[in-house]
A and B are shown apart, each in its own frame.
Chain A
Amino acid sequence: AQSVTQLDSQVPVFEEAPVELRCNYSSSVSVYLFWYVQYPNQGLQLLLKYLSGSTLVKGINGFEAEFNKSQTSFHLRKPSVHISDTAEYFCAVGHNDMRFGAGTRLTVKP
């Protein structure tokens, strides 16, 4: 069965600093990988997804993620964060269904 592990439960950063949210996956078959964002009291919004092809995936709001098969990782990055990026971020893996990581709470401070 597939699963994902988000290595950091909370990541505090200052505005305009770079950020990396870490995600490792485990699967015995080829899978698809996703990053979702959830703003306070709102639903899930897809940031980006990796299906195949280029290992560097660009998403919305300036986020990107890199699929690394040898390290079974799919870390999310943004070169310069804004206050408005404060939210919960979920890494997920899809195959027959979708499984989510525990989430990383990104807090951007002024």
Chain B
Amino acid sequence: SAVISQKPSRDICQRGTSLTIQCQVDSQVTMMFWYRQQPGQSLTLIATANQGSEATYESGFVIDKFPISRPNLTFSTLTVSNMSPEDSSIYLCSVEDPRSDRGSGYTFGSGTRLTVV
């Protein structure tokens, strides 16, 4: 399966600032996904990022708050903008295994633990 490098692993940020999270994959993948896991909660899909097109956001998430870049088939960034304490969560990127049938194999990054103070 694909190997994902996600950075930073954790950060503590001041409210009102922005943080950009990077996700690097060791192989070319079509679909990349960004998830949020709030404290004690499950994973919620933020958006799907395809190379060459704008990200598709899920209900409750907007581009102004969570801008996403996907410049090539191995890299993506998620920015958490104008942060507030409610944004304190673990943010994870995920990719669909290119060697698996559609929807059958996913790999997750180790996550970015964000604390907003």
Binding site for B on A (CB under 8 A): 31-32, 34, 43-44, 49, 51, 90, 94-103
Binding site for A on B (CB under 8 A): 31, 33, 41-45, 48, 92, 94, 101-106, 108-111
CB <8 Å contact, B42 and A100:
yes
CB <8 Å contact, A97 and B111:
no
CA A100 – CA B108 in complex, angstroms? 13
CB <8 Å contact, A51 and B108:
no
Which residues does chain A contribute within 8 Å of B109, judged by CB atoms?
A: 43
Apart from A43-B110, A44-B108, what 4 extra A-B contacts exist at CB < 8 Å? A97-B48, A97-B103, A100-B43, A102-B42
CA A62 – CA B44 in complex, angstroms? 28
Which residues does chain B contribute within 8 Å of A102, judged by CB atoms?
A: 41-42
CB <8 Å contact, A32 and B104:
yes
Which residues does chain B contribute within 8 Å of A49, judged by CB atoms?
A: 104-105
CB <8 Å contact, A43 and B33:
no
Considering the complex, give the chain B residue whose CB is closest to the CB of A6: B42
